[in-house]
Structure formats: C-alpha cells, structure tokens
Chains A and B, each alone.
Chain A
Amino acid sequence: GAVVSQHPSWVICKSGTSVKIECRSLDFQATTMFWYRQFPKQSLMLMATSNEGSKATYEQGVEKDKFLINHASLTLSTLTVTSAHPEDSSFYICSAPRNYEQYFGPGTRLTVT
C-alpha cells in the first residue's frame, strides 16, 4: 500500500542551527504534501501546504522564513527549521493525499537544546 516516510525519525540539535526533515511518498506521486506539528498533549496543527513546483502555503502564524519548505519533486518535500530554538522542539508530521485518503508519515521528533 501507499507509504509515506520521514527522515530522520528523531533529531537533537543545538540552538541556532538548522535542521532539515524529509518527507517522501514511496510508491505514489504527490503534488501536494502537508506539514503538521504537534505539541505535547495537543492536536496536530497544520503548518503549511507544500506544492510541487510552486511556493508553499503557510498557515497564519507560521513564519515562512523560519520553516522553509521545498517540494523538490513529486515524491519529496523537505521542511527546514532554520535557526532552531528550544521552543521549536516538537513532533513534526507530514502527509500526502492519494485516492481519497490521506497518508501520514511516522513523524520526526525534534529536540533543540
């Protein structure tokens, strides 16, 4: 079946550094992918919509210069957290739609020290 992967599954970085998270659709093409963020004991919140061949669409309150999204191909979207701060520590999840379903990646746990 359709699978969405994320890499890395967890990452620890120092404050001020940048971290790139990859989201891949493994056996289907996705012109659109979604990036979500989950804080502890809270719901998944949509951060942005990644569009292949065009700019990402960011939700209100999400800093586009801090969370850089690049939809490099029909199977790959990347989220780069630039100049990371401890408050960026969170669980980041991507998803991709296919055939009237939404497939989620396993998530990436980011810890900024």
Chain B
Amino acid sequence: DQQVKQNSPSLSVQEGRISILNCDYTNSMFDYFLWYKKYPAEGPTFLISISSIKDKNEDGRFTVFLNKSAKHLSLHIVPSQPGDSAVYFCAASENPGNQFYFGTGTSLTVIP
C-alpha cells in the first residue's frame, strides 16, 4: 500500500514560470516531510524539508507547503530553470530519524 503518492508522473514547465509538484499521503502519523531531487543513476539530493508544526518552509527558489488536514504537500519552484529538470520525490516519516516512505516521483522538465 503506497502511503505517499505523487499522482503526476511528469510535468513540463516553461523556463521562468512556476513549477508546482504535488504529493499526498495517507498516514496521519507522518510528521516530517522531505523533497528530493534525483538525476538518473545518482542518489537523491535533499532539497527542502518541513515538519508538521509548520505549514510553509522557504529556501531560495524552493517553497514547500503543508496542509495537514488534507494530508497534502506541494513543492513550488520559482522561477523554474532548465537545470531543475529531474525527478522529484516527496518522502514522509513519523520521525526524521526513522525510515522514510517515498512517493513514486514526478519527472519535471523545464523547457528553455
């Protein structure tokens, strides 16, 4: 049973525009969330995190929003750049020291 879901397998965005990647989860015990970026044949690269005590966390061009009541989080990238083209995974955990459950990923393509 997939506890973390990314329902959009792919997304194409024009350079300079906003990219919005969505993620839903089912386990209400999840308290800590991460977004990772992954290039082919490489390990995931941490992007940004958020804990359940917040509803927004911002780091440069990346902002993560958390809606606990809807069990939904999203990653906003503004402005999108061609170098952002990669697969983005959201991940959730009950505790940041524990195992994480990953979504299936969204492949983002930023068109120059």
Contact = CB atoms under 8 A, between A and B. Distances in A.
Interface residues of A, number: 24
Nearest to B105: A43
B43 interface: yes
B100 interface: yes
B42 A106 contact: yes
Looking at chain A's contact residues, is the secondary structure mostly helix, strand, loop, or mixed? strand
Looking at chain B's contact residues, is the secondary structure mostly helix, strand, loop, or mixed? loop
A13 B32 CA distance: 38
A42 B89 CA distance: 10
Interface residues of B, number: 24
A104 B39 CA distance: 13
B30 interface: no
Contacts of B104: 42-43
Interface of A: 6, 10, 32, 34, 36, 42-46, 49, 91, 93, 95, 97, 100-107, 109
Interface of B: 2, 32, 34, 36, 41-46, 49, 89, 91, 93, 96-105
